[in-house]
Amino acid sequence: MANGILPACRTADGLEYEYREYLWGDVIDGSKEVLQRMGIGTGIGFPGEHGHNKRKVSTTDPRGFPCVITVCYSWSKFPFSVHISHPGRHYPDPDDDWKEVFPGVQCQSCTRVNIYKGTADALTLAGIVLAGMFPGMPGMRSGRVTILADGTLPTSHKNSVASRCTEG
């Protein structure tokens, strides 16, 4: 499994990269030169280069596994990140975790929250949401409404990022 704080690895000629292994595949962060020496992205342009996508380029690794080369965040010490997917090992699909808990209401359990979806009538009949507390109704946000466990709304401004659920 991946470890959050790993020392950088070095190629034979001293160039640095970081390698992390996950259940679904591998992530390698490094420079274009390092990645091409590993056989990744040889003969193709990298993200951000003239004539190529600004953020990501899809290709295959030397084993033939599909991979995506992306530009790393500005705070990262490496310019590129490669996500290599191993066949038959995919991210768990959160859409598969929805279970019907009431007629017309589905629930997905996350780490510290439960997310419910359904029509306004179904959510109201199930007792999950009070009538009048749905997006687009007077006094409510237009796209998404966050309701706290005690039935109240967050106290921040209704268009604030802080009004969304935060874990903690």
Residue 83 — pLDDT band, cuts 50, 70, 90?
very high
Specify the higher pLDDT residue, 42 or 12. 42
**Cα angle for residues 37, 41, 43 (degrees, 5° grid):** 95
Confirm if 124 and 133 have CB atoms less than 8 A apart. Answer: no
* Domain co-membership, 51 together with 98: no
Residue 132 lies in a domain: yes
Residue 134 lies in a domain: yes
- Boundary (domain end) residue, out of 51, 85, 119: 85
Residue 2 lies in a domain: no
> What pLDDT does 123 receive?
92
> What pLDDT does 84 receive?
94
- Boundary (domain end) residue, out of 60, 85, 110: 85
Of 21-30, 71-80, 155-164, the range with the lowest mean pLDDT is 155-164
> What pLDDT does 139 receive?
82
Residue 3 lies in a domain: no
CA-closest candidate to residue 123, choices 109, 103, 138: 103
- Boundary (domain end) residue, out of 85, 115, 143: 85
pTM > 0.75: yes or no: no
* Domain co-membership, 13 together with 79: yes
How far apart CA 134 and CA 119 sit, in angstroms, is 10
> What pLDDT does 7 receive?
59
Mean pLDDT, rounded, for 12-41: 87
Domain count of the chain?
2
Mean pLDDT value across the chain? 81
* Domain co-membership, 122 together with 72: no
Residue 55 lies in a domain: yes
How far apart CA 111 and CA 168 sit, in angstroms, is 10
Q: What pairs with residue 118 in β-bridges?
A: 105
Residue 168 lies in a domain: no
Residue 63 lies in a domain: yes
Neighbours of 20 (CB within 10 A): 15
Neighbours of 104 (CB within 10 A): 13
Q: For the segment 61-81, what is each residue's pLDDT rounded down to a tens digit?
A: 999 999 999 998 777 788 999
* Domain co-membership, 67 together with 127: no
Q: For the segment 28-45, what is each residue's pLDDT rounded down to a tens digit?
A: 999 999 999 889 998 888
Highest mean pLDDT among 9-13, 118-122, 151-155: 118-122
Residue 121, domain extent: 94-163
* Domain co-membership, 158 together with 124: yes
H or E element at residue 122: helix 120-125
